[in-house]
Amino acid sequence: MADIELVELTKHYRQGKTVVRALDGVSLRIGSGEFVSVVGRSGSGKTTLLDLVGLLLRPTSGKVLVDGQDTTRLKDGQRADLRGQRIGFIFQEYNLLPTLNVLENVLLPLRYTKSTVQDDRGRALELIEAVGLGDRIKHRPDELSGGQQQRVAIARALINRPALVLGDEPTGGVDTQTSQELVGLMRWLNREENVSFVIVTHDLELAGQADRMIRLKDGQVLTDEPVEHAA
Amino acid sequence: MEIIRNLARRKLRSTLTVLGIVIGIFALTTMGAMAAHFNALLDGGVKYFGSSIQIGPPDGQASILPMSKVDELKRVDGVDAAFPGYGFAAKPGEAATISFGIPDTIVSHDPAEDRYAAIKTTYAQGHDLTATSRGEVVLGSSIANELKKNVGDSIDLPVRPKDAKPDFVNHTFTVVGVLDPTRTAPDNLASISILDAQMLFKESLPVAIRDTIDTTTVAQSIVVFGKPGTSLAELDRIAGRINQQVNGVKATKPSDLVNSFKAGGATFTAITTAAAVLALVIGGLSVVNTMIMAVTERFREIGLKKAVGAHTGHILREYLLEATLIGFLGGAIGYALGVGLTNLLNLAGKSSNLELFLITPTLTVIALGFAVALGALAGVIPAFRAARLDPVTALRTTN
């Protein structure tokens, strides 16, 4: 199971003559099965943090450890393999492939990664059923609503039994009710699949449903505390 | 599967791109088929003239050689055999047009010559002439087809022109053999015995001198052979010796004839190459353009694929495959159209002996291989662009 550790992580960009400190010495640990939300204003470094944890970006300095393994030393291909096997992604824009149907979209990550799943198709159908789209497996994305597309994306993120799912504003493109349903679904899958979720969001209501909330400001951790849930 | 669906996403654009390749490969196929036809024809010339020495009269003299020269030639060092030759238009009076092939010709044939023939002929029907046969003819495949004759049929040769003068003479021959196609000279030849040829030769002479010449003592030309397998250089040397030792004849160096045939072949090869370059430019550029547009449109998809574990190599392969598929589709359609058209034209030209195209296995491989290679090559730059995209940038592109 996932144990993600960020050690003194920095990411600096050069913008003309100035250096932008998108992330500035962040150290965190995300334990197995946690549901963490990351909040902060635009430019606070949320997305950069997500990209670094998702191994899509290389840090300027510091380390990202996955299960104790320092990923900053890995080659691009090894990072891609690790992404494929251990990390799932959910984006605000869903990013489904328009030419593939629901089932094919869910199966997409397995095309590039050595599958650790026994029965690919069975697993995909099970997930599609779990996200409530069992009757839509042959539908193309343009035949689905935004909420349904995001459900497909959630199923896709889980197909390879990842240790960690990263969500970049996963409810940013849907209405409030759909947003609630999606959060409920993610929380349920978080428990059912025992997979960690790290969700970057502007939506404080969503953030408030996490186990733990991290506030970022100017590339640094402002607060990092458990969320109190009403009984 | 996804690749095919991707092509279907922009139907008009994909169709136009495929059409670019179709036109190029269609041109390549038809021009190539024409070049293949001429090269086969010229190859026959190279083979025939590269294995024999043509003897004619000295420059400026009429084409009549005393038969005694045959024996004189046989005595020249290196000469193994010499045969008198006669040739006549099979269809006299036919309008002299620029022909894309060899005109139908009646030629004399001595069965002993077969031993030396560089172009081996086989019989679709019937058999060869005998040395003493009279009134018999062996037809090449094209002339047999054109005149609609089979073994056992009678044929009047030369064919009487529509506006024949009252004194036009021809003779009835029985077809004893029809040759398999060779794609070169023998296809258009009607072979008769030397004795019959001498009779036709006599009748072809002007009335004023016809009775003063015994045509059994003269030939129009003589063909000389070395031992089978004699090299071209050696034949050239024999031709030189003939010119030195035998008066009243002129031997043409076989290499001169071979070179002139090869020069002709080079011209057609240049035409094919030009068609290929045209295909490369038109088709290739349109594939590059289409693929660059496809990559640009699919930045986010590429980013997503990389996020879920695709390596640079995976993306490269997918886009190369897509470009190759465009090339293959265009190639297959263009080739099919080219084969269809050339077959139709050949069929239409068959009765008038105007078959211009030859689809060879080599041409098939070249046309399809070229299309696929072109697609793949045109896909290289766009595929690299796609594969090297930074996933973070690609994922956040707004189209």
Query: Is residue B95 predicted with pLDDT exceeding 70?
Result: no
Among partner residues B6, B305, B395, which is closest to A99 by beta-carbon distance? B6
Q: Which is nearest to B76 in space by CA: B256, B224, B253?
A: B224
List, for residues A23-71, the tens digit of each pLDDT value: 999 999 998 899 999 999 988 999 999 999 999 999 999 999 988 889 9
B224 backbone dihedrals φ, ψ, rounded to 5°? -115, 140
Residue A39 lies in a domain: yes
Cα separation of B272 and B31, whole Å? 6
Q: Is residue A109 part of a domain?
A: yes
Q: In this structure, are residues B354 and B187 in contact, taking their beta carbons and an 8 Å threshold?
A: no
At A54 the pLDDT is 93
Instruction: Find, in chain A, the residue whose alpha carbon is nearest to that of B317.
Output: A112
Tell me if A160 is assigned to some domain. yes
CB-based contact, A81 to chain B, within 8 Å: yes
Q: Is the ipTM of this structure higher than 0.90?
A: yes
**Domain CATH number, residue A206:** 3.40.50.300
Distances (CA, A) of A83 to A76, A165, B67, B90, B310: 10, 10, 92, 80, 9
Residue of chain B whose alpha carbon sits nearest to that of A55: B307
Instruction: Please state the domain count of chain A.
Output: 1
Q: Is A17 a member of any domain?
A: no
pLDDT at residue B157, as a whole number: 87
CA gap B364, B375 in Å, rounded: 17
CA B214 to chain centre: 40
**Smallest CA–CA separation between A139 and chain B, in Å?**
14
Task: Give CA angle at B196 (B52, B90), nearest 5°.
Answer: 75
**B286-310 pLDDT tens trace:** 888 888 888 888 888 999 999 999 9
* B66 has pLDDT over 60: yes
How many angstroms separate the CA atoms of B201 and B378, rounded?
62
Side chain identity at A141, as an amino acid letter? Answer: P
Measured distance CA(A15)–CA(A18) in Å, rounded: 5
Instruction: Locate the chain A residue with the closest alpha carbon to B10.
Output: A99
What's the pLDDT tens digit per position in A78-98?
999 999 988 999 998 889 999
Which residue of B lies nearest to A101 if distances are taken between CA atoms? B2
Nearest to A112 among B310, B391, B395 (CB): B310
**For A57, which of B8, B9, B392 is closest by C-beta distance?**
B392
In one-letter notation, the amino acid at residue B250 is K
> Is some CB atom of chain B closer than 8 A to the CB atom of A167?
no
Chain B nearest CA to A191, separation (Å)? 22
Q: Is the pLDDT of residue B99 over 70?
A: no
Among the partner-chain residues A77, A80, A99, the one whose CB lies closest to the CB of B2 is A99
Q: Looking only at Cα atoms, what is the longest distance across chain A?
A: 55
Cβ separation B303–A95 shorter than 8 A: yes
* A112/chain B closest Cα distance in angstroms: 5
Q: Say if A7 falls within a structural domain.
A: no
Query: Does A157 reside within a domain?
Result: yes
Residue numbers in B near A156 (CB within 8 A): 308
C-beta separation of A124 from A60 below 8 A: no
Question: Mind telling me how many Å the CA of B27 is from chain A's nearest CA?
Answer: 34
Full residue range of the structural domain in which residue A108 is found: 32-59+75-226
Per residue in B147-204, pLDDT (tens digit) is: 888 999 999 989 888 888 887 888 899 999 999 988 788 888 999 999 999 998 888 8
Of B2, B304, B309, the CB nearest to A113: B309
End-to-end CA distance of chain B: 24
Mean pLDDT throughout B56-74? 87
Find which of B308, B397, B398 to mutate to test the A interface (most A CBs within 10 Å of its CB).
B308
Conformational region of residue A20, where left means phi above 0, alpha means psi within -120 to 50, and beta covers everything else: beta
**Closest of A198, A218, A172 to residue A45, by C-alpha:** A218
In the DSSP assignment, the letter for residue A142 is G
> In chain A, what percentage of residues exceed pLDDT 90?
58
pLDDT digits (tens, 9 = 90+) for B228-271: 888 889 999 999 999 999 888 899 988 988 888 888 788 877 87
Give the span between the Cα atoms of B250 and B240, in whole angstroms: 10
Mutate to test the interface with B, among A48, A97, A154, A165 (most CBs of B within 10 A): A97
- List CB contacts (< 8 A) between A104 and chain B: 2
DSSP 3-state assignment of B246? coil
Query: Between B5, B8, B307, which is nearest A54 by CB?
Result: B307
Contacts of A85 in chain B (CB under 8 A): 309
Is residue A64 domain-resident? no
Distance from CA of A77 to the nearest CA of B (A): 6
In the structure, what pLDDT confidence band is assigned to residue B107 with cuts at 50, 70 and 90? very high
Coil, helix or strand at residue B231: coil
Strand ranges inside chain B, DSSP E: 53-56, 65-66, 81-85, 87-89, 105-108, 123-126, 136-139, 154-157, 171-179, 189-192, 218-219, 221-225, 250-252
Query: What confidence score (pLDDT) does residue A151 get?
Result: 92
Which has the minimum average pLDDT: A147-151, A227-231, B11-15, B373-377?
A227-231
Measure CB to CB from residue A112 to each of B305, B391, B395 and give the nearest one: B305
User: Is B2 close to A97, i.e. CB distance below 8 A?
Assistant: yes
Which residues from chain B sit within 8 angstroms of residue A54, using beta carbons? 307
The pLDDT value recorded for residue B97 is: 52
What pTM was computed for the model? 0.75
Query: CA B251 from chain center: how many Å?
Result: 27
Tell me which residue of B184, B187, B146 sits closest to B37, measured CA to CA.
Answer: B184
Is position A21 within any domain?
no
Tell me whether residues A112 and B311 touch, CB distance under 8 A: yes
Q: Do B307 and A104 touch (CB under 8 A)?
A: no
Residue B357 contacts residue B34 (beta carbons within 8 Å): yes
**Is the CB of B307 less than 8 angstroms away from the CB of A112?**
no
